[in-house]
Amino acid sequence: MIGCNCNAGLSNTGRPNCVPLFGITSSMILVPITANDGTKNGLDLSAPLPSFNGLVNEADASKRWFPLPAFENVELPKADSLFEEANSGRQVFLRQGKRSFAGELWAEDSTPTFLGKLVKSRCVDFGMYIVDVNGNLVGSEDNGFLYPIPVDNPSWDPKFMFATDSTTQKIMLGFDFNRLFDESSMYMITVSEAGLDFTSLEGLVDVNLLGLAVSTTDATFNASFDYGTALEKIIYQGAILPADWLVTNVTTATSFIPDNVTENPDGTYVLDYSVSGTVSVGNSVKIEVTKNGFDGDKTGIAV
Amino acid sequence: MIEASEYIEEIVSKMDVTILGTYDISTGRTLFCDTKWARVGKTIKDSLGNDYKITEVETDVYIVAVPLIDPLLTLDGLCYLETPFFMTGTKLATNREWSIADNNLENKLPLIWLLEIISETGYGRGSSFDRDIEAKIFYLDETDPSQYYTKQHRDQVVKPMQKLMTEFLKTTDGIREYQTVDNYRYKTFSRFGVEQENGVFQNILDANLSGVALEITLTRYKVNCKC
């Protein structure tokens, strides 16, 4: 509850014309509350807006934005406020009720694989920006920053629902807002202000590098996603530019881009770093996916 | 407030006309997991703008296409299908406007035709909906009544036009200003025209066309005011 200011009277109730209104909630962007360097994640409203695609592709996961797909049947109910009632019938306000979120992810966005990724969010203190159907971004404005709305992360509850005769497969997601969140602090950044429709942001896709074999001149591996069938995971194709990869000699703390990349057959890569790289037998070498929209790495010992 | 046909035209303009394929040198086929509205006889472009003529299509499996200029080229990677031609209007008006739009039939097919009259329902201040648009939309492409049996009309034209309709619906699903479409009605026809008990006896547009008619209600959410 926000305390009363005893020096002020009632608030003025006029308003200018054409105040922006939030549209229906379409999706959310999850953001850790605090980055690993101790700074709070938020948009500095006094500076030019950052590259939002850059925030989604941010190398530091503690500063990254994690957009969720579009939800169906979104509800954001508010529980009743709590009062103490005297025998006379007089009531005293104790606290406002909690705000909850309930929404459904349908069809391709409802795989058990994705469920597994959602469940892990519970372990992190995070907040979320709301994205409405018009592509606007809603957050919590405080001291010149637009912060993500804090989520009560232990309440985070994604559930898988099997398809039935009358319903499609889905993930039902429910959670509560942080109970101390002041809803009057909500403001939005519009599509025209950002130069971007926030519904167009998509989260990174995890890439698994399997069977990594590292030598002093090249690295060979298969790349695939978590998604697919039990027998055949969907392969990661087309990352054939040297800039799509980063090789780091962990032992000597040097990073380099491979000289060239070959993919044959699809999903099987050879990164040749015989010219640009310096790797000796026994060095620990990390291969990283750096192509926009994807994330993954694997470390091996050079032989 | 934008006029309903402009909204439909906006959806059509956002339709993804690309398909991603891999050329198989052993069979001469280009493998696609989604062939969309590709069909035999039509032109397809590769990412460099080279034109190919489609000679064989196995829906959602492969396309065989021959290059129109350099015979050594092979269809591979990102490919571009013909962009649908959008029109709106009554039967008479559309027939006239479509006839004079271009002398070359290839430049105005496949056709997505929004039939007028368009019925709309508006919502007041208490609703987050802006309006319901009840639309009847035709997805049409040329057919050959002198050569085709009914099965060929369906394979060669109706099936690709059904895929064109599916792409339209997929595009609509991806635009979040619209409520998710729960259901829609559609009718497929081997010959597009005025029907009698014995079948089609007269073309509505001055061409031999086949395709699909979609009846759909699109619900738009309100957007912020612009001052």
Please give the ipTM for the structure prediction: 0.70
Contact B223 A23 (CB under 8 A): yes
State yes or no: pLDDT of B1 exceeds 70. no
Contact A18 B227 (CB under 8 A): yes
State yes or no: pLDDT of B50 exceeds 80. yes
Task: Find all residues with CB under 8 Å of A188, minimum gap 6, and list them.
Answer: A20, A22, A132, A136, A137, A138, A139
Given this model, what pLDDT does residue A239 score? 94
Radius of gyration of chain A (CA): 24
B109 to chain A, closest Cα gap in Å: 30
Pairing of β B193-196 and β B199-203 = antiparallel
CB nearest A23 (choices: B22, B221, B227): B221
Is-contact A257 A270, C-beta < 8 A?
no
Distance CA B194, CA B202 (A): 5
Interface of chain B toward chain A, CB-CB under 8 angstroms:
22, 128, 176-177, 180, 221-227
Given this model, what pLDDT does residue A3 score? 65
Is-contact B11 B168, C-beta < 8 A?
yes
Please give the structure tokens belonging to residue B157: 């034209």
pLDDT bucket at B60, cuts 50 / 70 / 90? very high
pLDDT bucket at A122, cuts 50 / 70 / 90? confident
Q: Which residues of A130-165 are buried (b: 16+ CB within 10 A; e: fewer)?
A: bbbbbbbbbbbbeeebbbbbbbbbebbebebeeeee
Length of chain B measured in residues:
227
Given this model, what pLDDT does residue B195 score? 66
Please give the structure tokens belonging to residue A77: 């109910």
Q: What is the DSSP letter of B227?
A: -
For a pLDDT cut of 70, what percent of chain B falls above it? 94
State yes or no: pLDDT of A8 exceeds 90. no
Radius of gyration of chain B (CA): 19
A20 to chain B, closest Cα gap in Å: 6
Q: Is A108 on the interface with B (CB under 8 A)?
A: no
CB nearest B177 (choices: A20, A134, A190): A134
Given this model, what pLDDT does residue B210 score? 87
Given this model, what pLDDT does residue B199 score? 66
Distance CA A220, CA B208 (A): 56
Contact A20 B224 (CB under 8 A): yes
Distance CA B40, CA B50 (A): 17
Question: Using one digit for the tens of pLDDT, what is the confidence trace for B143-170?
Answer: 887 888 888 888 889 999 999 999 999 9
Mean model confidence pLDDT for chain A: 93
pLDDT bucket at B117, cuts 50 / 70 / 90? confident
Q: Which residues of chain B are within 8 Å of residue A199 when distances are taken between CB atoms?
A: 176
Please give the structure tokens belonging to residue B101: 């739009």
Residue of B nearest to A188 (CA): B224
Residue of B nearest to A21 (CA): B224
Q: Which residues of chain B are within 8 Å of residue A133 when distances are taken between CB atoms?
A: 176-177, 221
CB nearest A23 (choices: B222, B226, B227): B222
Q: Is A18 on the interface with B (CB under 8 A)?
A: yes
Q: What is the DSSP letter of B167?
A: H
A177 to chain B, closest Cα gap in Å: 23
Distance CA B40, CA A17 (A): 57
Question: Using one digit for the tens of pLDDT, what is the confidence trace for A148-181?
Answer: 999 999 999 999 999 998 888 999 999 999 999 9
Residue B25 — left, alpha, or beta (φ > 0 → left; ψ -120 to 50 → alpha)? alpha
- pLDDT higher at A205 or B195: A205
Longest dimension (CA), chain A: 87
The whole-number average pLDDT for the span B209-225 is: 89
State yes or no: pLDDT of B202 exceeds 80. no
Contact B128 A24 (CB under 8 A): yes
User: Choosing among A29, A134, A138, which should be mutated to test the B contact, i.e. which has the most B CBs within 10 A?
Assistant: A134
CB nearest A70 (choices: B176, B223, B227): B176
Mean model confidence pLDDT for chain B: 89
Question: Using one digit for the tens of pLDDT, what is the confidence trace for A177-212?
Answer: 999 999 999 999 999 999 999 999 999 999 999 999
Q: Measuring CA to CA, how many Å separate B39 from each of A11, B29, B143?
A: 67, 14, 11
Q: What is the DSSP letter of A196?
A: S
State yes or no: pLDDT of A1 exceeds 60. no
Question: Using one digit for the tens of pLDDT, what is the confidence trace for A216-232?
Answer: 999 999 999 999 999 99
The whole-number average pLDDT for the span A285-295 is: 95
CA atoms within 13 Å, Cβ hemisphere of B209: 27
Question: How many Cβ contacts (< 8 angstroms) between chains A and B?
Answer: 32
Distance CA B204, CA A34 (A): 64
Question: Using one digit for the tens of pLDDT, what is the confidence trace for A90-118?
Answer: 999 999 999 999 999 998 899 999 999 99
Q: Is A16 helix (H, G, I), strand (E, B) or coil?
A: coil
pLDDT bucket at B196, cuts 50 / 70 / 90? low
Pairing of β A100-106 and β A145-147 = unpaired
Question: Using one digit for the tens of pLDDT, what is the confidence trace for A52-84?
Answer: 999 999 999 999 999 999 999 999 999 999 999
Q: Measuring CA to CA, how many Å separate B205 from each of A279, B111, B116, B142, B211?
A: 70, 11, 15, 11, 13
Q: Which residues of chain A are within 8 Å of residue B177 when distances are taken between CB atoms?
A: 133-134
Comparing CA positions, the residue from A6, A32, A53 lying closest to residue A197 is: A53
Torsion angle of C-alpha atoms B190, B196, B198, B203, degrees rounded to 10: -40
CB nearest A199 (choices: B176, B222, B223): B176
Q: Is A44 on the interface with B (CB under 8 A)?
A: no
Is-contact A279 A239, C-beta < 8 A?
no
State yes or no: pLDDT of B65 exceeds 70. yes
Contact B224 A72 (CB under 8 A): no
Residue of A nearest to B181 (CA): A72
Q: Is B198 helix (H, G, I), strand (E, B) or coil?
A: coil
Other CB atoms within 10 A of residue A33 CB? 18
Is-contact B63 B42, C-beta < 8 A?
no
Q: Is A169 on the interface with B (CB under 8 A)?
A: no
State yes or no: pLDDT of B204 exceeds 80. no
pLDDT bucket at B200, cuts 50 / 70 / 90? low
Residue of A nearest to B130 (CA): A23
Residue of B nearest to A27 (CA): B176
